[in-house]
Structure 1
Amino acid sequence: MAAPSGFLNLDLLALSPPGWGGVLLAGFAASLQLAVGGFGLGLLIGIGGAFGKLYGGPILRDLLEVYTTVIRAVPELVLILLLYYAGTDAVNSLLMLVGLPRVDISGLAAGIFVIGVVQGAYSTEVLRGAIKAVPPGPIEAARAYGMSPFKTLRRITLPAMLPYAIPGLSNLWLIATKDTALLAVVGFSELTLVTRQAAGSTKAYMLFYCAAGVMYLTLTLVSNRVIAHIEKRARRGIAGPV
């Protein structure tokens, strides 16, 4: 009997060697860590950037405008190569200037930083538009009642802007999950790189790339369900489409 072809040989997806299933799952977990960390960092940068653009001084607004323009103009692959290598060199150069020894920055930390910087530029614009869409009445009422700016932000502005921000942020999350694949070019062992290694070792290209595609698709479908639930809760009490 002829041996099964690479595409039909599902034993190659076994979790233990000689199967590559465990390796693929480890790569998928690394991709998920990158996406969550990068998206979270980008969200923090975006919140600061949005408020800086809206309420900061002219110098801060100009610097943020340069940041968002450059990041959105340069291809993401070029940014990843630049930030991954130049960013780690810059950190070590600064440490040496102050008399501290060089440090080995983990691939995960560097990857989260790279994706976070890229995501931050887009999050800044998404959140800036969402804040501008908030009706001024509730904010003015909070100020009239003597709320501090921080309390007004926490209790009025951020909850009110969520319905406007969630669609854009959900797209950024899905982009972040796919941007993790670009880190394969710098040798980080995320899902795309380990898939390529498995396919190259076994010559079962169709099997492994289809398996990776199913993992990415599953993540997207689960993310869509979670985002829809969050969006539904955020829009409670809002009549009609936003």
Structure 2
Amino acid sequence: MERYLALLSFGPDGWGDELLAGAGVTISIALATLPFGLTLGLLVALAKRARNPLLRGVATLYTTVFRGVPELLTLYVIYFGMQILVQQFWSWTGLPGSVEFSPFIAGMVALGVVLAAFSAEVWLGALNAIQKGQREAAAALGLTRFQAFRLVVLPQLLRVALPGLGNNWMVLLKETSLVSVITLQDTMFIATRANVVTKEPFLFFGAAALIYLSFSVLSAWGLDRLEARTHRGHRPRGALR
């Protein structure tokens, strides 16, 4: 037991500080990915409701591809493929030096485009749940389409979509472990390295599991509070007056 505690301690002889830093990277990339993925997902959902058939087709193709391709493959394609494209573009411009593609940015983009594909379906379902009369009433009041969306549709959209988006966030937290394969020093990367050095897989992978579980429990608590807040003052349809 003393040996295990020493391995998890902070300082030069323990891995506690490295695990803490890895947990910081994990939550950082998740928080950076969330607004990017949800915003892109909303745009894709709006495109799937567009009158233009070409726009609808592109949006449908996007969700089909990124929901069907493994996240790890998407990560590899974006990290290695985009780095090659950037290097070729840099050489074409004739500028000196080279460009390094950050693993953090690559991970954020890869996880973000996948999150967007799944959240687009949640946004789309929420948009379909809002009655058409809401938009017609906003137009009758003289609101522009943007004002109607911001003031009338979006508040209701967030309330309806929040449970599904919350599930997307929980999945995203676990998928951040994939970025360890592109050498980003997150929780999983540190746990794997500690296991290689100490030959204690149960200790360090168990510690990593506790870190992810802690993030999930805190997220579930926060989502419950947020959902309760969005439903404040809302009376379900059919409720007694």
2:88 matched residue in structure 1: 93
Deviations 1:135-170 (A, max 9, x none): 222211111111011111111111011122111101
Amino acid paired to 2:151: R
Q: Is 1:194 the counterpart of 2:190 in the alignment?
A: yes
Q: Is 1:132 the counterpart of 2:119 in the alignment?
A: no
Give yes or no for contact 1:49–1:124 (8 Å, CA) kept in 2. yes
Instruction: Give 1:19's match in structure 2, choosing from 11, 14, 19.
Output: 14
| TM-fit CA distance, 1:93 | 2.9
Amino acid paired to 1:24: L
Alignment of 1:34-113 (within 5 A): 34-55=29-50, 57-100=52-95, 102-113=98-109
| TM-fit CA distance, 1:98 | 4.5
Instruction: Give 1:163's match in structure 2, choosing from 138, 159, 162.
Output: 159
Amino acid paired to 1:126: V
Which runs of 5 or more structure 2 residues have no equivalent in the other structure? none
Q: Which moved more, 1:78-87 or 1:208-217?
A: 78-87
**Distance in 2 between the 1:155 and 1:218 partners?**
36
1:114 matched residue in structure 2: 110
Deviations 1:220-242 (A, max 9, x none): 01001111111111112222489
Give yes or no for contact 1:88–1:110 (8 Å, CA) kept in 2. no
1:233 matched residue in structure 2: 229
Give yes or no for contact 1:28–1:191 (8 Å, CA) kept in 2. yes
**Distance in 1 between the 2:104 and 2:178 partners?**
13
**SS in structure 1 of the partner of residue 229 of structure 2:** helix
Q: Is 1:177 the counterpart of 2:200 in the alignment?
A: no
Amino acid paired to 1:122: F
**Distance in 1 between the 2:79 and 2:144 partners?**
40
**TM-score (ref. length: structure 2):** 0.92
Residues 100 and 63 (structure 1), Cα distance of their counterparts in 2 relative to 1, 3 Å cut: farther
**Distance in 1 between the 2:107 and 2:18 partners?**
19
Instruction: Give 1:144's match in structure 2, choosing from 127, 140, 143.
Output: 140
Q: Whose RCO is larger (CA < 8 A, sep 6+)?
A: 1
**Distance in 2 between the 1:66 and 1:241 partners?**
35
Deviations 1:174-216 (A, max 9, x none): 1111111111222221110110111221122211111111111
| TM-fit CA distance, 1:97 | 4.0
Amino acid paired to 2:88: S
**Distance in 2 between the 1:49 and 1:100 partners?**
35
| TM-fit CA distance, 1:15 | 1.7
Residues 235 and 77 (structure 1), Cα distance of their counterparts in 2 relative to 1, 3 Å cut: same
Give yes or no for contact 2:79–2:101 (8 Å, CA) kept in 1. no
**Distance in 1 between the 2:95 and 2:116 partners?**
29
Deviations 1:93-132 (A, max 9, x none): 3444445554212111111111111111111111011111
Residues 147 and 25 (structure 1), Cα distance of their counterparts in 2 relative to 1, 3 Å cut: same
Give yes or no for contact 2:103–2:182 (8 Å, CA) kept in 1. no
Amino acid paired to 2:42: I
**Distance in 2 between the 1:220 and 1:107 partners?**
24
**SS in structure 1 of the partner of residue 49 of structure 2:** helix
Give yes or no for contact 2:83–2:101 (8 Å, CA) kept in 1. yes
